[in-house]
Amino acid sequence: MGTRVRWTIAVLAAMLLLSACTAGQSGSGPGSGSAPGGSGAAAQSGAAGGTRTDGKQPAVETVLEQLKTPWSITLHDGTFYMTERGGTVVKKPPGSSAAMERQAVRLVKPVLQQGEGGLLGFVLAPDFARSHHAYAYHTYAEDGETFNRIVLLRETSGGWEEEKPLLERIPGSRYHNGGRLAIGPDGYLYATTGDASEESLSQNKDSLAGKILRLTLDGRIPPDQSSSYVYSYGHRNPQGLTWTPDGTLYSSEHGPSGSPGGHDELNRIERGNNYGWPLVIGDETKPDLVPPLLHSGERAFAPSGIAADPSGQVWVTALVGETLFRYDPKVNKLHVELQQLGRLRDVLVAGDYVYVITSNTDGRGHPKAGDDRLVRFKLPQ
């Protein structure tokens, strides 16, 4: 490795450390965001972290400003729907003259916005144009405890109404609520859940915590999945889900807090697999535990939303890392594509553009005028 390349990686590591320090707690929970280390894993993560070789940033346009801790982006026929963690949905119809609307979400059990919890994942139903249905994942309090639930919503002229709950009492906490929803190519609803700060739950297949769940669109266990919603387990705090055009499912996941910290992961998800938390991290192996495709070594970049593009590249947002990465499955590497916007929460690829939302108003960032923002840039050819 040439001196210049080593230096570039050292600068990147220093930037990430600075981000971690100034941002306080990472998206991974208390105390995460450890110093870059010199271990073999960290050396690997230098390759994983990467940097742009051309030093350029894409030309970024702001689509919307003044979002309040946005969490997920969806798009239907040119209209954006973005959840805000406090419990609202921002709707922006197409056209520069169309005003954005902040929609109320009326739920039977109110959103609990605390720590990393709140109104999180949101996905429109495949028949949304006809049914006006969407699915949402949110934190709530019950019996003095914190949980998460997945609900079916319907859009009305007055905002969103809960139609029915699909799955409740998913363990929750101030930290590690997971929360991403996506509908797979198989037509089922997938959800990521965190370990709710109780590590042992991730290995307990009877618990809904620390899992990727799969359910029918009306909330039942899929007929091909024996007797459980659990699709994969051994996760800590996964927050990204996407499928590449070949049908491969990827998920991003926050690694441990404290020491050793970092070890954020990108995983290839297959049904029934055990992804290791809390038995192993990083390059550690044990029989029947599936290692990540790559991990961040002792640095934390706290990956959140991910999205595949038509060519099979996977775009990965990072909160602490304040970077949009592009993962190239052919070489199993992350490439830095976009920085300088602060914390990034979710990404969407649609048409010729990559859309990203920032998360600088979440209490761990440094909001600039206009934050939080939805921005876009041209998908590289």
Q: How far is the CB of 99 from Ca ion (least distance, A)?
A: 44
Tokens of 47: 């390759």
Site membership for Ca ion, residue 275 (CB under 5 A): yes
Please pick, from the candidates 46, 276, 282, 305, the single residue that binds Ca ion as defined by CB under 5 A: 276
Whether residue 281 contacts residue 44, with contact meaning beta carbons closer than 8 Å, is answered with no
* Sole window of 40-48, 76-84, 224-232, 274-282 interacting with Ca ion (rule: CB under 5 A): 274-282
Q: Report the residue number whose CB is nearest to Ca ion.
A: 276
Which residue shows structure tokens 């304040």?
322
**Angle of the 3-22 helix axis to the 40-49 helix axis, nearest 10:** 90
Is the CB of 140 or the CB of 275 nearer to Ca ion? 275
Count of beta carbons in the 10 Å neighbourhood of residue 345? 26
Catalytic site includes residue 176: yes
Q: How far is the CB of 291 from Ca ion (least distance, A)?
A: 7
Tokens of 199: 């590590």
Please work out, in degrees rounded to the nearest 5, the angle formed at the alpha carbon of residue 6 by the alpha carbons of 4 and 8.
70
Site membership for Ca ion, residue 315 (CB under 5 A): no
Is the CB of 156 or the CB of 285 nearer to Ca ion? 285
The single residue of 176, 235, 254, 295 carrying the catalytic annotation is: 176
Q: How far apart are the first and last CA of the chain?
A: 29
Is the CB of 127 or the CB of 284 nearer to Ca ion? 284
Q: How far is the CB of 263 from Ca ion (least distance, A)?
A: 8
Site membership for Ca ion, residue 250 (CB under 5 A): no
State how far the alpha carbon of 316 is from the alpha carbons of 72, 308, 346, 353, in Å: 13, 9, 8, 15
Total site size for Ca ion, rule CB under 5 A: 2
Whether residue 378 contacts residue 359, with contact meaning beta carbons closer than 8 Å, is answered with no
* Sole window of 100-108, 273-281, 300-308, 338-346 interacting with Ca ion (rule: CB under 5 A): 273-281
Q: Which residues are catalytic?
A: 176
Q: Which residues bind Ca ion (CB under 5 A)?
A: 275-276
